[in-house]
Amino acid sequence: MKTAEIMANLAAKHPGENEYLQAVQEVLESIEEVYNQHPEFEKAKIVERMVEPDRIFTFRVTWVDDKGEVQTNLGYRIQFNSAIGPYKGGLRFHKAVVPSMLKFLGFEQTFKNALTTLPMGGAKGGSDFDPVGKSNDEIMRFCQAFMQELWQCIGPDQDIPAGDVGVGGREIGFLYGMYKKLAREYNTGVLTGKGATWGGSILRPEATGFGALYFTQHLLQTAGKDIVGKKVALSGFGNVAWGAATKAKELGAKVVAISGPDGVCEIPDGITDEMIDYMLDMRASNRNKVEDMATKFPGKAIFTPGKKAWSIPCDIALPCAFQNELSEDDAKELQANGCWCCCEVSNMGCQPGAIHYFQNNGILFAPGKAVNAGGVATSGLEMTQNASHISWSAKEVDDKLHFIMQSIHEQCVKYGTQPDGHIDYVKGANIAGFMKVATAMLEQGII
């Protein structure tokens, strides 16, 4: 494979789309060796086809804010790859959303979904709508306007969106309500992350964080370590961080930091159940300020403005917020403060320099597409329940999630174990996902 040539072509076709190019580069670097052992992939130009989305929808979303002023945003849905199933992936509402961000996320999603063992292709969508400071009514009006365009692109056997940053259960409710009204289709399987009484799966809200901790447990066990009593620093306080904090505490770890765009809250005695519950209120408030935790729990949560979670001494770092949130300097600071493991929960949460630093300095590291796949896997379980008009108990869903995370870990070990015995989880996850998607593409001909 001519990685440099493919990257140069891609950069020329998608100028300035740095996040997208970064995600592709990371995958190509790690699959190169395996790819070269399969001339049939080269002949069918699998990589050249795989790095481009199947199609992109872009649309204008116009809505009226609480002051009566007309607002216009951009909406997108990127259907990236359908080799192993219908398009599947979340919607991100964030002011920084641009096509490059959604392309990187759709590309990652394709590999992640392949790892889940379930038949789901990759997609991503969203808008540059900024939920910060918006009222509930404004969120509803925006979601309805967004769905007025999106509904024509999606369907339960075609493309199934879900949540991501800025899109949780509330937004999925508003989106689903409008979908039904427009499409006159009452198939709940068109969106996942729904409410438990109208087709949602029990444990879907917790699934990304729970799955991440199950994966972390397997990784630690394989390395001969145990999570009990370990200090965990995590970033963010949204749905993913909430699930991760809940499961980390349940497994006996001590969550000593959470963070937000405004700074970090250190929690020296470990996060409590009340604090974990309060994370949900903080998200619902749309204020996007972690300082609120310190205001609510004075003396127990100590806020420092402008600092990241990576400045707090810990054993295990769990980035749970946004892409590129952990830099090489952060990686160095973490190690200097005693951290020896980083499981990336956010999509592409670590910058390439940070990943290389971890890998070259003996710090256990696993990438987001493996660690956070429990979220979309449980979306897949939600689709199965919807298609068969049943609903599983929490135990049934949790057992299946656990099994899937174990299987993802096994795939990483299978494809990532190096001649010297150490496990390269980045290679393992990328090669395992790639082999599945590439083989399916090959078998389906040149399309």
- What does the binding site for ligand GLU look like in residue numbers (CB under 6 A)? 88-90, 112, 162-164, 192, 347, 375-376, 379
Of residues 88 and 427, the one with the C-beta less far from ligand GLU:
88
Find out whether 62 and 97 touch, Cβ atoms under 8 Å: no
Of residues 205 and 428, the one with the C-beta less far from ligand GLU:
205
Smallest gap from residue 40 Cβ to ligand GLU (A): 30
Residue 245, C-beta contacts closer than 8 angstroms, at least 6 positions apart: 209, 234, 255, 258, 271, 276, 279
Find out whether 77 and 84 touch, Cβ atoms under 8 Å: no
Query: How many other CB atoms sit within 10 Å of the CB of residue 375?
Result: 30
Which position among 124, 247, 308, 400 bears the catalytic label? Answer: 124
Q: Given strand 159-162, what is the order of strands in its sheet? A: 55-64, 70-81, 122-127, 87-93, 159-162
Smallest gap from residue 384 Cβ to ligand GLU (A): 13
Smallest gap from residue 230 Cβ to ligand GLU (A): 25
Distance separating alpha carbons of residues 68 and 119, to the nearest angstrom:
44
308 is catalytic: no
Smallest gap from residue 286 Cβ to ligand GLU (A): 19
Residue 423 backbone dihedrals phi, psi, to 5 degrees = -100, 120
Quote the tokens at residue 165.
């940053």
Query: How many other CB atoms sit within 10 Å of the CB of residue 349?
Result: 27
Smallest gap from residue 298 Cβ to ligand GLU (A): 34
Query: How many other CB atoms sit within 10 Å of the CB of residue 136?
Result: 11
Which of these, 13, 46, 40, lies nearest to 28 by C-alpha position?
Answer: 46
| Long-range pairs for 356-365: beta carbons < 8 A, 24 or more residues apart | 356/328, 357/328, 357/331, 357/332, 358/331, 359/424, 359/426, 361/335, 363/331, 363/334, 363/335, 363/339, 364/219, 364/220, 364/223, 364/340, 365/341, 365/425, 365/426
Residue 11 backbone dihedrals phi, psi, to 5 degrees = -65, -35
Of residues 91 and 423, the one with the C-beta less far from ligand GLU:
91
Query: How many other CB atoms sit within 10 Å of the CB of residue 5?
Result: 10
Of residues 163 and 319, the one with the C-beta less far from ligand GLU:
163
Smallest gap from residue 124 Cβ to ligand GLU (A): 8
Of residues 200 and 375, the one with the C-beta less far from ligand GLU:
375
- Name 265's bridge partners: 258, 303
**End-to-end alpha carbon distance in the chain:** 21
Of residues 88 and 300, the one with the C-beta less far from ligand GLU:
88
Of residues 304 and 384, the one with the C-beta less far from ligand GLU:
384
Smallest gap from residue 193 Cβ to ligand GLU (A): 6
Which of these, 93, 91, 89, 84, lies nearest to 106 by C-alpha position?
Answer: 89
Q: Which residues are catalytic?
A: 124
